[in-house]
Structure 1
């Protein structure tokens, strides 16, 4: 997957160990891929930022920030993780151990794997891995052309139509680490759409996206 032979295989094994499967160390903390995920997230963000900076020399900071966010969001990374084989690697590694995957699992492991590659092979190798083996799965032009702020579209439409809109949290599921917010989008006190997401903001965006499709609002 990385395009090179690992020097320290234990780093990659750790990257494939979600918190739910981590064992407690003698020091009392759970050994999992969370620290590698933190490192990989920073490295990935840095490489993507430099790539966009070089590719779009005439675009402003707002464009670069929004485009990077689209590239490294959980849904995008999750799909990329599956495409490059992380799903198969994970289930081969954990075997028959009981485990329930969360929605962002493969994206989380992809970031942890990037952290492992960085520690094992260094920055230059990791940068090449990201540019050559991850970016090719992104439709950057398509992402740029796609509206991501559906909530703004809904608010603009309701203002134009002189209608009242509000968002209401109807459920919060999960645990302290993996929460799922369920938000209802209401127009004129009528439920129009329901969205789910790991944060209130993302659940509102999901509900807004569904509402845009139902109301045939261009986006």
Structure 2
């Protein structure tokens, strides 16, 4: 899919974002994007949209329609997942589907994407409404990883698949230590459940509280062993909170790291 045939669909939305940037701001923003992706952007409005967090969404030229980077995030997530899947499929020709799925999951998990997004400088470009976060530090949310996926979506629409694939493989995967990623079994929940089965114990995960709002919600999970509280953890999704609690439990049990 090429930019020329795609951008016309977004013109009513993108024209709104182009109007919001003054000439000097527009040039500075363009230079920042060019530095990140390695080539001058053709449609700057796509990238402006990619960095608009949902908390800062405003009505566009389309009456009653509020736009943020969520749609581009959806697209970028699909493109990123497909490129990583192809990369792993070719790199590990004798590994089964379970291995490939697990490693892809580790590569695209939200915490890792948050870190990479900040490394490449996205934190200075994201537009968000800090007054809506109710005291939760933005750097601890999924905002940066979401913006990175939205950026991938924007690049795909602006530059096409071949360029986007190169950006992912060269600029993003370069921040990973693939060998360490493979050797480190970070699925603490699975490890804890396996331990419980060996020891004949019952392990349960319970979400005991939530805090924040729709944009910045944090979950607190508790691990119980034989119905007794054992460890707690937090995260910005229920799954991540459970993993955090499981990690704390593994630490208390002094479990050694597991290699694949």
TM > 0.5 between the two? yes
Counterpart for residue 87 of structure 1: 123
> 1:154 & 1:66 partners in 2: Cα distance?
17
Does structure 1 retain, via aligned residues, the 8 Å contact 2:189–2:242? yes
> 2:43 & 2:130 partners in 1: Cα distance?
24
1:114 aligns with 2:149: no
Kindly provide the CA deviation profile for residues 140-183 of structure 1, in whole angstroms up to 9, marking residues without a partner as x.
11111111221222222233334333222211233345543211
Deviates more, 1:109-118 or 1:95-104: 95-104
1:202 aligns with 2:240: yes
Q: TM-score, normalised by structure 1?
A: 0.90
Unaligned runs of 5+ in 1: none
Does structure 2 retain, via aligned residues, the 8 Å contact 1:179–1:198? yes
What SS does the aligned partner of 1:218 have? coil
User: CA RMSD of the aligned region, Å?
Assistant: 2.0
> 2:244 & 2:104 partners in 1: Cα distance?
19
What SS does the aligned partner of 1:193 have? strand
Unaligned runs of 5+ in 2: 1-35
CA separation of 1:214 and 1:95: change in aligned 2, threshold 3 A: closer
* The structure with more helix, counted as a fraction of residues: 2
Kindly provide the CA deviation profile for residues 165-217 of structure 1, in whole angstroms up to 9, marking residues without a partner as x.
32222112333455432111122443221112233333222111111112201
Aligned residues: 216
CA separation of 1:96 and 1:200: change in aligned 2, threshold 3 A: closer
Q: TM-score, normalised by structure 2?
A: 0.77
